[in-house]
Homo-oligomer: A and B are copies of this chain.
Amino acid sequence: MTFSPEQHYRQYRSQIERYLQSFISESKPHTLYGPSEYVLKGGGKRIRPVLVQLACEAVGGEAREALHAAAGVEILHNFTLVHDDIMDHSPTRRGRPTVHTKWDHNVAILTGDALLALAYRALLKTRSPRIQEISRLFTEGVVIVCEGQAFDKEFEERRRVHVNDYLMMIERKTARMLAVAAEIGGLIGTSDTGRLDALRSFGTSIGRAFQVQDDLLDIVADEEELGKRTGSDLVEGKKTFLLLEALRLAKGKDKAILQKVVNNGGVPRSRIAEYRRIYEATGAIASAERHVAQDLATARADLERLPASNARTTLLWLTDMLARRTF
């Protein structure tokens, strides 16, 4: 039988699912463990934990030994979602009501707090002589994610945000934790600093590519495939890569039209086509595509620095999936 990266990915995703399904064993207090279970059983692509396991395997370790850490990284991610959803007033997530909507604000604050502690509980089950370094890396990841979220909220209030500020912010909010995920997996399997560097860079690159592509898809995707209306970022007045890059590149009348998104906190849906035209004309879309392509090229080059293995093949497959992503 030939090796299938997709099956490899699915296999590790199933391991994580099973781990998370049975992770919460307590039931009381109900207002804490009810929503915690609800969140952890909410599915998702589980990219981060699979990355931890594949990174471990790609440097010669046993993927199984990275399972606790993988779960820790995924639970941590879910903590950030619960608290971000409160701060962003998001009513739904993955097609279900968010915790603060289904329960209330207090429950969501506390559930997030517990998930952060539970993430450490999983992580700290890892058997590794480098557990202190792993825990520190994880902790610095949490601090940086908080910084990213704080910048994100600050930028919402600020009239002038440069596209470089935006890139700095997503590096903290999204890319760093993917770098940490990859490096933690690596640390469980090796102490080779060259390979650890490659994994860290790989995680950062796919994280950044993913976020810029997300902004891009909001304006160029097929609505049915995306599962929501395109242009939502413009309607909601979000300061995306495209808007900030277009603002940097535009002149005269186009610049004034772009500025309305910021000044009015969003634009009517009927104007989306006009903005798409400006994004094209200013070269903002081309710039976003260049950024994504460059990050993905870096990610592929990072993988070349690792020895050939099934795990490396699957990491490359994941990168290609990301590149071809149309939704």
Contacts and interface: CB of A to CB of B under 8 A. Distances in A.
- A contact face: mostly helix, strand, loop, or mixed: helix
Interface residues of A, number: 38
Given A136-B124, A139-B120, A114 B146 contact: yes
A150 B103 CA distance: 13
Contacts of A154: 29-31
A149 B111 CA distance: 11
A135 B124 contact: yes
Contact of A146 (B32, B136, B143): B32
Interface in A33-70: none
A236 interface: no
Given A131-B132, A135-B124, A139-B121, A146 B113 contact: yes
B109 A109 contact: yes
A149 B112 CA distance: 13
Given A116-B116, A143-B118, A110 B83 contact: yes
Nearest to A34: B150
Contacts of A136: 121, 124
Contacts of A87: 106, 109-110
A113 B112 contact: yes
A132 B139 contact: no
A151 interface: yes
A142 interface: yes
Q: Which of A86, A110, A146 has the most CB of B within 10 A?
A: A146
Interface string A167-184: 000000000000000000
A86 B86 CA distance: 13
Interface string A132-160: 10011001101100110111011000000
A161 interface: no
Given A31-B153, A117-B143, A120-B142, 11 more contacts: A29-B151, A31-B154, A32-B150, A83-B113, A107-B153, A109-B109, A114-B150, A117-B146, A120-B120, A120-B135, A124-B132
